[in-house]
Chains A and B, each alone.
Chain A
Amino acid sequence: MPVPMVVRMAGPRELTGKAASPGRACGPAFRALAPAAPPAMAGEDARAALAGAVTVAIGELRALAAGADAESAGVLDFQIEMLLDDDLIEPALARIARGEGAALAWAGAMDAHIAALVADDGHDAADTIGARGAGEDAFADGVGERGSGEDAFADGVGERGAGEDAFAARAADLADLRQRVLDALAGRPRADFPAAAIYVGDDMPPSLFLAHDWSKGGGIALGAGSTVSHVAMLARARGVPMVIGLGPLAVVAGQPLLVDGTAGRVGLDPAEPVAPPLPTIIPAAVAGPGGAFRLSVNLNSLSDLAAVDPATVDGVGLVRSEFLFLSPAEALSEERHVDCYRAILARFSGRPVRLRLLDLGGDKALPGLVEGGPASLLGERGIRFLLAHPDLARIQARAILRAAADSPATRDSVSVLLPMVTLPQEVAAMAALFDEEAARLARLGIAARRPPLGIMVEVPAAALTLDLFEAAAFFSVGTNDLMQYLSAAARDNPIAAPLNAGSETALFRLMAQIATTAEALGKPVSVCGDLAGDPEALARLVGLGFRDFSVAPSRLAAIGPLRRAMPAGEG
């Protein structure tokens, strides 16, 4: 990176780039560090990363045990002993040897250990209840105080004795270990930057955007970047001004900047503070439901929840679940998933909520779990990644099944969207996975509700063959990716971007076919891409027969009134 020149003496200056997210923001520059080498997590490095994380976890447990009472120390000793056992670690190393990242290998291997405990226990309970009750209940009732004969008499009727509880406790210990090592693998939280600052860098990782508190204002000025990147999409959805394509940036840290995301310009040392940074609150003055079409909202983060008034929308058309989790440890934590889904369902109580399974790959990476990169745009992405790494999919499936069962208010209001579906077999495989996890939860006595599964229509092969997707309960068109794959023009490549935008005719022809096919099949179809947030395009889509749209929170104010302004269609 070139040494920043001292430019202040030159007075106000302006850099011209390209508008990526409208609005103006003023603040001190925060210079992103040159991107560190991404944590290489395959092969030997992944082995080393896992070994390091296990060592960290053992150290933490030893420190805890040192200050614990005898009872707690016993539990911690057990966990330490487990982590010291090569037999515990070996399955994870075998998975790493097969090419998995450290976090996924560890989580998957630990899930297998836990599943073995739970499953074996189930068989035992069924097979040998009579033989067990007595001896094991003795543990609960005071070892050495009573003979086994007395125990048999006292506790013979109890079918779930202390033995099962002891096994359940072991499973909980393993789950605890699993999370502790995942946390250690994730390392310290990513470095954030000051609130209300202007982020300056070549590009910005979506996870960094999502981890930052934008409620105090701030903006983004990128040397490179793309208007159709995920971070640009996130910025528009959150109302964070963003300019891209500024070229090499000679900006020093702390230098006052004005980002004009509407004009696509960045002012250096603006003469006067043009406008105080405004908190990005989405105006709630949107007409209520009803009108020419259904309007739902897309959610990218839990902070979006506060920015949307549930009364102004018909529901949530798309939860981009991959943005809810900022580290592999979070993405692999079933409880974290459940917490997020419960928060969303509670906020939109009773209204339909469509949870999309993790759409990882491409520019949506989770280092240690999914490396992403341009190659994976045509490779392991979305449902392909999930089916190739079913442990992750099972975690998310269980969490959705549990959250969907939670309250009567959410009854039948939860549905699941499968990302990047190409062939019907993928839907069948995911449906089987959901059924298996539902059965597993039922065996454990945990409440679960199996939601309907629908597909994202974003791969042209699927878009052209909707009639083959009997297993899909509904369709939702992701116009951003559909456009990218139709035009063979990467949406994060500035050189190809005009081709992407220029393929609109092809997109609308295909949209017409999608609307006709869905209607003939009698299946609900909606549009959840950025296209639906553009009033002109939305009018065309209504003309084609679409009546169900989902847009970013920041687009609700522009699109909401159209529901009444537009003549109600017959669909």
Chain B
Amino acid sequence: MSEPSPAFPRERSGARWQTEVEVTHGIGLHARPSVAFTRLAKSFPCAIEVAVDGSADWLNGKSIVKIMGARIRRGTRLRIRAEGFRAEEAIVALGELVRRNFDEDRKNARADGRPDGRPA
């Protein structure tokens, strides 16, 4: 799905990988972006957690209830960390997804019937 980017900023601490990314999507992680994020997170076997704006409260990145509850908005600094098998790949993929605005800015996410420009 996402091309692992060698330039993507990330840190390693033991078996744990962490990255930080700013949410630039218009509204933040509302319904559709949350689905995209948690579905991608669940495709990895490692544990994935997110924290918002420097909060020490790490939330399960595979839970849409937790992600929605965090009300992640535009401009939020989102930290993503993963631990376990394919952890590095996971944080890169999730970080890229956020950077790509959850693939939504290429899709006119409007209710007025504009053509769906989502990539296949």
Contacts and interface: CB of A to CB of B under 8 A. Distances in A.
How many chain B residues sit at the interface, stated as a range, is 20 to 34
A240 to B, nearest CB: 49
A149 B24 CA distance: 14
Interface string B97-113: 00001001100111100
B69 A143 contact: no
B52 to A, nearest CB: 14
B3 to A, nearest CB: 21
Interface string B23-58: 001111011101100110000000000000000000
A166 interface: yes
A440 B26 CA distance: 30
A142 interface: yes
Given A85-B65, A120-B71, A124-B71, A139 B31 contact: no
Contacts of B118: 70
B73 A169 contact: no
Nearest to B38: A81
Contacts of A270: none
Contact of A139 (B34, B63, B65, B109): B109
Contacts of B105: 143-144
B27 A166 contact: yes
Contacts of B71: 120, 124
A139 B27 contact: yes
A74 B32 contact: yes
Given A82-B65, A85-B63, A143-B26, A70 B116 contact: yes
B77 to A, nearest CB: 14
A80 to B, nearest CB: 8
The prevalent SS among residues of A at the interface is helix
A74 B63 contact: no
Most buried by B among A74, A75, A138: A74
A73 to B, nearest CB: 10
The prevalent SS among residues of B at the interface is loop
Given A136-B73, A136-B74, A82 B26 contact: no
Interface residues of A, number: 31
A150 to B, nearest CB: 13
Interface string B62-106: 011110110101110000000000000000000000000100110
A65 to B, nearest CB: 11
Contact of B64 (A70, A85, A139, A163): A85
A71 to B, nearest CB: 7
A173 B31 contact: yes
B69 to A, nearest CB: 7
B32 A135 contact: no
Contacts of B104: 143
B72 to A, nearest CB: 12
Given A81-B38, A82-B65, A138 B26 contact: yes
B27 A78 contact: no
A71 B111 contact: yes
A528 interface: no
A105 interface: no
B42 to A, nearest CB: 8
Interface in A129-188: 132, 135-136, 138-139, 142-144, 148, 162-163, 166, 169-170, 173
A143 B25 contact: yes
A170 B26 contact: no
Contacts of A75: 31
A246 B39 CA distance: 62
Interface of A: 70-71, 74-75, 77-78, 81-82, 85-88, 113, 116, 120, 124, 132, 135-136, 138-139, 142-144, 148, 162-163, 166, 169-170, 173
Top 10 closest pairs, chain A to chain B, by CB: A135-B74, A139-B27, A143-B26, A87-B65, A138-B26, A139-B26, A78-B31, A70-B116, A87-B63, A144-B105
22 contacts: A71-B111, A71-B116, A74-B32, A74-B35, A77-B32, A81-B35, A81-B39, A82-B64, A82-B65, A85-B63, A85-B64, A87-B60, A116-B69, A132-B73, A135-B73, A135-B74, A138-B26, A138-B27, A143-B104, A143-B109, A166-B30, A166-B31
Interface of B: 25-28, 30-32, 34-35, 38-39, 60, 63-66, 68-69, 71, 73-75, 101, 104-105, 108-111, 116, 118
